[in-house]
């Protein structure tokens, strides 16, 4: 299992690769995403960015459709998987 930091850094690495693929400088992408250059540089270096910033980067990179797969409902491969999965639709109420 990957740590949150590993996941953040992988996302930052993929954003950097897409930025370079589109031939954007860090300054250009930061501007298109509406964030400061310092914030963008910190993101590439550490993977730290707000959710809003990440969404803005996705839009600036024409990758907003990639967010549709985030937490998408699981596709089952067999009836056994369907019957074994919990059918609960709501969380439990805690008083």
Condensed to tens digits (0 to 9), the pLDDT of residues 6-60 reads 999 999 999 999 999 999 999 999 999 999 999 999 999 999 999 999 999 999 9
Element (H, E) at 79: helix 79-84
Domains of the chain: 4-64 (1.10.260.40)
Single pTM value for the model: 0.76
Q: In terms of DSSP H, where are the helices of 22-72?
A: 26-33, 37-46, 51-60
Structure tokens at 78: 């067999």
């Amino acid at each position: 299992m990957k740590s949150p930091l590993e996941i953040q850094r992988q996302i930052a690495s993929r954003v950097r690769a897409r930025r370079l693929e589109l031939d954007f400088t860090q300054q250009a992408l930061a501007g298109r995403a509406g964030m400061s250059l310092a914030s963008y540089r910190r993101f590439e270096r550490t993977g730290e960015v707000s959710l809003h910033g990440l969404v803005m980067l996705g839009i600036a990179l024409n990758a907003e459709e990639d967010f549709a797969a985030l937490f998408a409902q699981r596709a089952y491969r067999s009836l056994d998987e369907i019957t074994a999965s919990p059918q609960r639709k709501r969380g439990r109420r805690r008083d």
